[in-house]
Structure 1
Amino acid sequence: MDEYYNYIKSLHLIFVITWFAGLFYIVRLFVYHAEAKLKPQPEQDILIKQYQLMSYRLWYIITWPSAVLASIFAFWMLFGTELGSAWLKMPWMHVKLGFVFLLYLYHLKCHQIFVQLQRNEVKHSSGFFRLWNEGATLILFAVVFLVILKDAFNWIYGVIGIFLFSVILMLGYKFYKKVREKNKS
């Protein structure tokens, strides 16, 4: 094993964690922004201004730098070490990289939404954003199962579990929405 591999892997993991933290929180701020748009004035303007500031700082100070650094350390592990080169030949790594590609797409879509909300263009409901927030959760589950299990047969169970988990999340969201609507009445 390369002498510095565990240091590189540790830094990669740290920035993956902060990247996901940023993704989870930015979408929560999207939810709040969409809900603030429905508030009366001057509350609406005050809240939106605050959410835009919080989103801006989170996105550019934590989320984007974490994504870039996680990617740099990932490429270093995969292409700069012997172990990484061996992993690139394994089927589970190909599947994992497919999920990582989905994560990049998710991140870029969040960036598009972020830019719209910075202009105060709310094109989605808070309900949409609540469901959208689960996208990062599903990708996280898939990647963790793949990295830990590595076995082609076992990761299939993990992916099936992710699918079932997403169905449970959707049902839970619908139940939560009904409870919220009932409490508003």
Structure 2
Amino acid sequence: MEDYYSFFLAVHVVFVISWMAGLFYILSLFIYHTEANTKEEPARSILVAQFTKMEATVWKIIATPAMIISVLAGSLMLYTHPYLFQFGWMLVKLGFVAGLLVYHFICQRMMKQLRAGNYTLNSFRLRLWRELATIFMVAIVFIVILKNAVDWIYGLVGIMGLATVIMMGVKFYKKVREKNNH
């Protein structure tokens, strides 16, 4: 199994990229789906039906399979190199991965609620929620690449700074959209 570590790593990286793409795209669909609910008929029914179909496709064909393969390949990497559990950075990374898995299943619940027509988050809050995936992604990449090169305090401050910049960007985008809609 030792000889397969690089193969598992390559598969892991490819499918993490696919997983993140699926998560980013599904949240964009949720935003458009939510905004479609404010349209007049028959546009509302047509758009909601289309977004529901697109969400199901992205979830079943991209996001969930990519998540499963990412976790499986990552697990196989750890199986072939169990000493990685001895490093603090790996444990922190796995904590963020656990958070990303929770995020994934919350998105699944959101999709089911949207399909049932009883989801109440507005498009602004969904945009903020989408950016949480960005924070997870950035944290994981920096932890894996920098490992112990950065003090965890600075890393935490950096993540909080990134979250603040992203939130300000989403709020700015909201103001621009509101201005253009009036």
Q: Which secondary structure does the structure 2 equivalent of 1:4 belong to? A: helix
CA distance in 2, matches of 1:182, 1:28: 21
Is 1:77 aligned with 2:77? yes
1:30 paired residue number: 30
| Cα distance in structure 2, aligned partners of 1:147 and 1:71 | 15
Consecutive unaligned residues in structure 2, runs of 5 or more: none
The one-letter code sitting in structure 1 at the alignment partner of 2:176 is V
| Counterpart residue number, 2:18 | 18
1:94 partner letter: L
8 Å Cα contact 1:146/1:155 also seen in 2: no
Deviation at 1:120, TM superposition (A): 2.3
* Mapped contact 1:149–1:155 kept (Cα < 8 A): no
Measure the CA separation in 1 of the matches of 2:71 and 2:19: 10
1:31-81 deviation per Cα after TM superposition (whole angstroms, max 9, x unaligned): 0000000000000000000000000000011111111111111111112x1
- In percent, how many aligned pairs have the same letter? 44
Q: Give 1:2 shift.
A: 2.1
Q: 160-169 vs 106-115, which deviates more? A: 160-169
Following the alignment from structure 1 to structure 2, what is the Cα–Cα distance between the partners of residues 180 and 71?
38
For residue 103 of structure 1, what is the amino acid of its counterpart? Answer: L
2:107 maps to a residue whose letter is: C
The separation in 2 between residues aligned to 1:156 and 1:85, in whole angstroms, is: 27
What are the within-5 Å matches in structure 2 for residues 33-182 of structure 1? 33-79=33-79, 81=80, 84-151=81-148, 153-182=150-179
Distance 1:172 1:73 in 2: 34
**Large movers: runs of 4+ above 4 Å:** none
Where 2:120 maps in the other structure, the secondary structure is: coil
1:3 alignment partner, SS class: helix
> How far has the Cα of 1:155 moved from its partner?
4.8
Mapped to 1, the partners of 2:173 and 2:68 lie a distance apart of 35
Superposed CA offset, 1:145-182 (max 9, x none) = 00001106445433322210110111121122122212
Return 5+ residue gaps in structure 1 as ranges.
Answer: none
Mapped to 2, the partners of 1:180 and 1:65 lie a distance apart of 34
TM-score normalised by the chain length of structure 2:
0.95
TM-score (norm: length of structure 1): 0.94
**C-alpha distance in 1 between matches for 2:42 and 2:30:** 19
Matched positions, count = 182
For 2:27, the aligned partner's letter is V
Residues in 2 aligned to 1:120 and 1:52: alpha-carbon distance in whole angstroms: 10
Q: What do you get for the CA RMSD once the two structures are aligned? A: 1.4
Worse-superposed segment, 114-123 or 150-159: 150-159
The 1:2/1:156 distance shift into structure 2, 3 A limit, reads farther
